[in-house]
Structure 1
Amino acid sequence: MCRWRDHSPTVTVGFTNKTVEFVDNETVCYACGNHICFLRLDTKLQSVLQGPGRAIGALTASGKSGIFAFSEQKLSPSIFVYVYPELQLKNELKGTAQLDYTSLTLSDGGPYLGCCSSLPDHTITVWNWETAEQICTRPQAGKDVVSLVFNPLSCLQLCALGSTSITVWNIERSASLHVLKPSVIELPATDGSFAERLGPTSYPVRAKPPYFGPELPPVFTQTKLSTKARLTPSTICWTSTSKLLVGCAEGFLLLIDPVSRSVSVLFNPTSKQTHKWGVILHNYFLKNDQEDFILSQVSHNFYMATENTFVSYSDIQWCSLSYAKTHYMPLS
């Protein structure tokens, strides 16, 4: 069910400001109760797709392919994959989730969809949505996952944003076998300093306890030297060089290299700077000290959405985090 109508500044019951996604260069979509709403920025017209159940759960979209997917809110929920603007159902994915899905993500590099289920299994699964086939799955890997984001340059890499951690998942394959391999990123302390690296536990040569089992990874044979509180990641974004921009609840902006797992502080709110923005970029998310915004990037334009308005920004200077307002549109 779909219909277009003229846009007017009315209240939309059910719009939670949870997710706003670009489904093409001129259209955004968001969940509203049991509907997916599509808002065209050029014509200010809106279309509505009714969901199959009582409410929409997680939502994701790929502006490159026009594919969008959402889960339903019910026991043993399914994931529905559609194509825009035809609004045709491409496939229904029936996984092992018992209660809900916490996050969905689509790959720009292939017909792949990543999802994370909630209680009780907390499973991260990668699907081929064209064939409705599970590529790989990892139970109990998404216990605190808030968001999953595919690397737009690689369909074999996705990042999991947790409430207290950042994990990059690499899909390793051999013939038809696919395996999810995690790489946990160590974040700086809340004061912006980097905690001491894990140091190997040393023993005198003759005092080293004998061990005849399998060789263990270094993480099991190292001692943690620092107990400082770590930064709390709240939003993530892949860069054009396959690095990660991470915004933190404490106001820090970090740059992470997933290969070396090195972390750089791009912005420290405790230092003396003119513009003190808190969290930046969630595919793309922006927050300052007063308000939260959803930020998405198409070409060189940046778009933000508050609870009842939609604002487009351009010419953002990341060095000072200043911005210029170029477009304003209320959401109905």
Structure 2
Amino acid sequence: MPTNEDAATSSSRVLDESFFYPQEELSRPQLQGEMSRDLVAFSALLGFDSKKRNNLHYLDDHTLLTSAGNNMATMQSKYVFGLGGGGVGAIAVHPSRGFFAVGDKGNKPNITIYVYPSLKVFRVLRQGTERAYCSLRFSNDGAKLASVGASPDFLLTVWNWRDEQTILRCKAFGQEVFNVQFAPNDGGFLTTSGTGHIRFWKMASTFTGLKLQG
């Protein structure tokens, strides 16, 4: 049945494809009493978070993207740290394999879109959830990105990610959501699944505007 969804209220804008964010401007500021980052050097990150869902993706035929992964041909690793400082909640790879998305954990976390293989910050999606992202997914045509937040809001958001705009958003469910997925042949249909539920969604035009019906 229809849900309490709303369409984007942000002003329409188109971002230049040549625009990139300086990473140092997006990094979490140093906290009072925190050791200076100049005094420590990263050595290695070992392990794989097997409890995190959708935590393994191909970037190309030889490279895996995980919260801790490496290039299977060279066995070399390259590390991209979450810019919010609270950890990584979810990841997704664009169908072209030229971009990947990282959803952070923390207070009002962002989704950062990186270009692969340069790892430049291409886009930053803001205000999609309160505490953490639990699932991200690009549509098959690559035009849209869907995100689901963890507790307490469980917010489902559909983004025009290239222009950092919200298309639609609503509460996905009242309990944990494990996965969001676009229909293979139609980016106007989605499914969410989680604790005790599978839910089907349709982006529908109504007399009051575009709505998510589920």
- Is the pair's TM-score, using the shorter chain for normalization, greater than 0.5? yes
Does the aligned pair in 2 maintain the 1:127–1:136 contact within 8 Å? Answer: yes
Q: CA deviation at 1:26?
A: 2.8
Measured after TM superposition, the shift of residue 93 of structure 1 is: 0.7
State yes or no: 1:15 paired with 2:28.
no
Inter-partner Cα distance in structure 1 for 2:210 and 2:47? 39
Aligned with 1:40: secondary structure?
coil
Partner of 1:141: 173
- The answer on 1:31 being equivalent to 2:63 is no
2:137–2:146: 8 Å Cα contact kept in structure 1? yes
CA deviation vs aligned residue, 1:131-158 (integer Å, no higher than 9, x gap)? 1110011125363311112223322222
Cα distance in 2 for partners of 1:154, 1:165 equals 22
Q: Distance in 2 between matches of 1:62 and 1:100?
A: 20
Task: Decide whether aligned partners of structure 1 residues 179 and 58 sit closer, same or farther in structure 2, where only a CA change above 3 A counts.
Answer: same
Q: What TM-score, normalized to structure 2? A: 0.69
Matched, 1:49 2:80: yes
Q: What are the ranges of 5 or more consecutive residues in structure 1 without an aligned counterpart? A: 2-10, 183-332
Instruction: Encode CA deviations 1:84-132: one digit per residue, 9 max, x unaligned.
Output: 1111111111124211122111122132111111233221110111111
Give the whole-Å Cα distance in 1 for the aligned partners of 2:67 and 2:182.
21
Say if 2:95 and 2:142, in contact at 8 Å, map to a contact too: no
Q: Sequence identity, in percent?
A: 26
Given that 1:24 and 1:62 are in contact with CA atoms closer than 8 Å, whether structure 2 keeps it comes out as no
1:62-141 equivalence runs, <5 A: 62-139=94-171, 141=173
- What is the alpha-carbon root mean square deviation over aligned residues? 2.5
Gaps of 5+ in 2: 1-22, 24-43
User: What residue number does 1:180 align with?
Assistant: 212
Contact 1:109–1:152 (CA under 8 A) maintained in structure 2: no
Which structure is richer in relative contact order (CA contacts within 8 A, separation 6 or more)? 2
Q: Partner letter of residue 86 of structure 1?
A: S
Query: 3-state SS of the aligned residue for 1:46?
Result: coil
Q: How many residue pairs were aligned?
A: 168
Confirm or deny: 8 A CA contact 1:116 1:142 kept in the other structure. no
Instruction: Tell me the secondary structure at the aligned position of residue 98 of structure 1.
Output: coil
CA contact (8 A) 2:110 2:128 kept: no
Map of 1:162 onto structure 2: 194
* Aligned-partner SS, 2:67: strand
Distance 1:173 1:113 in 2: 19
TM-score, structure 1 as length reference: 0.46
More strand by share: 1
Q: Which has the larger radius of gyration?
A: 1
